[in-house]
Structure 1
């Protein structure tokens, strides 16, 4: 897979460029690297290839997921203009190289045809995130978040590996094609019972990565403690890659055994929706609110996985893109406001720190509002159609009670998302004009316009997905 090879080489090159290039130039170079990788990915459109000993497969579905992941990486790099400010404690080349390597892991997770390749991709992505979470070495919250993430992530990896071992023992293959062949040529009553345990254990390992309850406890602390730019990366790239892997495992590989895992996943989905939305409503920190919001959106996307309709894959892609654009914008605005408020208020990431943003920064306020409206699922934004397509899948599956719960939790979501909008426009406060870089503005408005365009013309990309 050429993008995987290219990003690996680009990451290594980036480390060496750190010795010769100016710190500010590395951001532009990294953006060009990701754009080049996206072009290589798009060149495989309408072609199916098997790579690396048939352990990876390129098709239109994996290409779409890969492009969304790389788009998220592109936005993160464009928003990361603060890497070069502290010349004593930071080296941008290291951060950008780790980001590129983590994208390699994410691409492996959306293209795997062998369970070992899934594990390798997951670990490449995870180890990079452990490092980036604790990258602010002078911040105790960052150190604590990295340790929590590492310990709980390692524990979740154990579940995944144990599940892979049980599946291999049941089907005598690690290849998806071999697993499907053996399952189709074996009577259901002849399959060992530990196969179903293996499916559940693999699901637990992946559900941890997308912050589904009850495996979500790490999320608010890690999101809050990590530097905001890396929190943005976690909530977009990691979640999209995780959902691509979950869909591939549950609906594609073991879709024929849905009755053995569907009750468990339904229970997890409902608990995720309730805990994520109710907890978010009580938060005073905008960053922790977005963390619990991320948990709730994992519940919405799990609903369409449970529905397992012909449109499920395209709905997950659309929801992932809508969520990525809105989340990147909301974290970007929160990041620049928190940087401005540091030293001026005790808690620069609280909703109070956003008071009066619209007065002198109308563009930031508008972008933040569009992002929150999309996350809330308000019409004329991409987030509305993302939820609409999910609810349509559930309706076609006759999932009455989950639909009711999802709609009620969406109403709760409107409440806590509008807390941010009220702070920006209606609460009294004084925030001076915040200067941002040209790349920051381009990325912010591109994501904001994309959210509105997809909300007005949802079929623009739905036909491609």
Structure 2
């Protein structure tokens, strides 16, 4: 019988906090009739904040543990990934409160679903075995499917959730088939055992089924990060879901999935770099091109940001394609700054009214609002300029690091495509800034045009923190760079 020692459980205290908090909130909602939605969200935010604090403390120790019979691994790489996931989840849950109430989505199951989805992401990034990775992937996926369908009274929401579920189930099938092939041809599901099998055999002697299994796993993860050609669900889900839920679905899960992508390819399968790097180059290049050009004709803000996210993941994959520690560091820097920009952008959108109760939907809803709300418009413009990669904002340095990593790995054509698509993408980001600053208010505006939907204390805090990080990154880059360097070094490429 396997024995678990108390130190094993201290290492997963953040996960235990999320489990017990989610169950407690559900039980309160089931047995106490007077529990308010605000109380449930605050409890969920507190649980995420406590877990984040514990992960920061664990990251500072700088130690590596392999626990639960080799099923779970904890090191600087994983702690930094968990910090990003928990920080993003904390911010999105806290700032969603006013909008969820306004859109009549104040349901007690919302905070537990966010907690369970976050728990699944933590399991994904710390998994040292394909079985644990699958459990985390499914826990995250099932929670996100329910979140996407939370506003099921609307046909558009139901349609988006159904697309998300069907394509997600297809990706799960690909993933399961991939790990079954890897297990069948390597005899193991543990990452370290698989790595040792690959090390002991010459590349030419490895069975073809192992490579095929890896391709299927990569395809499933490409779906999770919205990489082309597995991106079809992204614009529809972004547009169809309520804005506060899109803010969560569109940012945090992509960080977790990209970290898994990076860890799998640069740790157990790094010796197969010559076999998989061309696939990553294709995914990266296709995502950048499709993301840039497909967004040009979009007028719906969330749909535009969906295509933008596809392109942004293409830039991140450029760092993965480099296949070295410099590329891994660039990936972490990019994910950190992308998460900040994405959450900050949605915090701005959640603050404004549009023609509908859901708030701002189209670019025309932003026309002339700079005259009404100069501070909010300035912050949104900062995020748009940063996403476009304009110096000296954080987004410029994020792109700079992945370009440097690609050039160092002699992926010159990939870097050239990245630069060209950045120029194209700048057009639609600047189109949003133009609408705010250079377009006049509509002659017959809707009564709610340009009005603040709500600028709560939570949204104000998130906005100010995100804007400060993007604006001041060029002055204090070492805070993120050193953490990313430690995380990349933990891979021991």
* Counterpart selection for 1:35 from 49, 68, 78: 49
| Secondary structure of residue in 2 paired with 1:57 | strand
- State the distance in 1 between where 2:38 and 2:198 align: 54
Measured after TM superposition, the shift of residue 139 of structure 1 is 1.1
| Secondary structure of residue in 2 paired with 1:50 | strand
Mind listing any 5+ residue stretches in structure 2 that lack a counterpart? 1-11, 442-448, 485-493
Instruction: Say how many residue pairs are matched.
Output: 461
- 1:460 matched to which residue of 2? 479
> How does 1:14-413 map onto structure 2 within 5 Å?
14-18=25-29, 19=32, 20-45=34-59, 46-82=62-98, 85=101, 90-337=105-352, 339-342=353-356, 348-413=360-425
Q: Is the 8 A contact 2:45 2:94 kept in 1?
A: yes
Between 372-381 and 19-28, the greater mean CA deviation after superposition: 19-28
- State the distance in 1 between where 2:393 and 2:113 align: 33
Measured after TM superposition, the shift of residue 137 of structure 1 is 1.4
Change (3 A) 1:394 1:130: same
| Secondary structure of residue in 2 paired with 1:24 | helix
Query: Is 1:7 the equivalent of 2:18?
Result: yes
Q: Is the 8 A contact 1:44 1:58 kept in 2?
A: no
Change (3 A) 1:123 1:298: same
Measured after TM superposition, the shift of residue 42 of structure 1 is 1.9
Measured after TM superposition, the shift of residue 83 of structure 1 is 5.8
Measured after TM superposition, the shift of residue 84 of structure 1 is 5.8
| Secondary structure of residue in 2 paired with 1:85 | helix
- State the distance in 2 between where 1:450 and 1:92 align: 32
Cα distance per residue 1:422-463 (max 9 Å; x no partner): 111111116235541111111111111122122432222201
What's the TM-score once normalised by structure 2's chain length? 0.90
Q: Is the 8 A contact 1:26 1:93 kept in 2?
A: yes
- State the distance in 2 between where 1:402 and 1:150 align: 32
- State the distance in 2 between where 1:302 and 1:435 align: 36
- 2:439 matched to which residue of 1? 427
- State the distance in 2 between where 1:236 and 1:420 align: 20
Q: Is the 8 A contact 1:383 1:455 kept in 2?
A: no
Change (3 A) 1:268 1:404: same
- State the distance in 2 between where 1:47 and 1:9 align: 26
- State the distance in 2 between where 1:98 and 1:134 align: 12
Measured after TM superposition, the shift of residue 336 of structure 1 is 3.1
- State the distance in 2 between where 1:432 and 1:157 align: 43
- State the distance in 2 between where 1:366 and 1:17 align: 41
| Secondary structure of residue in 2 paired with 1:329 | helix
Between 209-218 and 185-194, the greater mean CA deviation after superposition: 185-194
Q: Is the 8 A contact 2:366 2:435 kept in 1?
A: yes
- State the distance in 1 between where 2:175 and 2:452 align: 48
| Secondary structure of residue in 2 paired with 1:407 | helix
Measured after TM superposition, the shift of residue 314 of structure 1 is 2.1
Q: Is the 8 A contact 1:360 1:433 kept in 2?
A: no
Cα distance per residue 1:397-423 (max 9 Å; x no partner): 111111111000000111110011111
Mind listing any 5+ residue stretches in structure 1 that lack a counterpart? none
- State the distance in 2 between where 1:236 and 1:131 align: 17
Q: Is the 8 A contact 2:327 2:406 kept in 1?
A: no
| Secondary structure of residue in 1 paired with 2:391 | coil
Change (3 A) 1:325 1:348: closer
Q: Is the 8 A contact 1:381 1:456 kept in 2?
A: no
| Secondary structure of residue in 1 paired with 2:384 | helix
Cα distance per residue 1:199-256 (max 9 Å; x no partner): 1110000000000000001110111101111111122111100100100111211111
| Secondary structure of residue in 1 paired with 2:390 | coil
- 2:460 matched to which residue of 1? 441
Measured after TM superposition, the shift of residue 135 of structure 1 is 0.7
Measured after TM superposition, the shift of residue 278 of structure 1 is 0.4
Q: Is the 8 A contact 2:273 2:323 kept in 1?
A: no
Change (3 A) 1:157 1:343: closer
Change (3 A) 1:435 1:262: closer
Between 73-82 and 15-24, the greater mean CA deviation after superposition: 15-24
| Secondary structure of residue in 2 paired with 1:436 | coil
- State the distance in 1 between where 2:68 and 2:19 align: 15
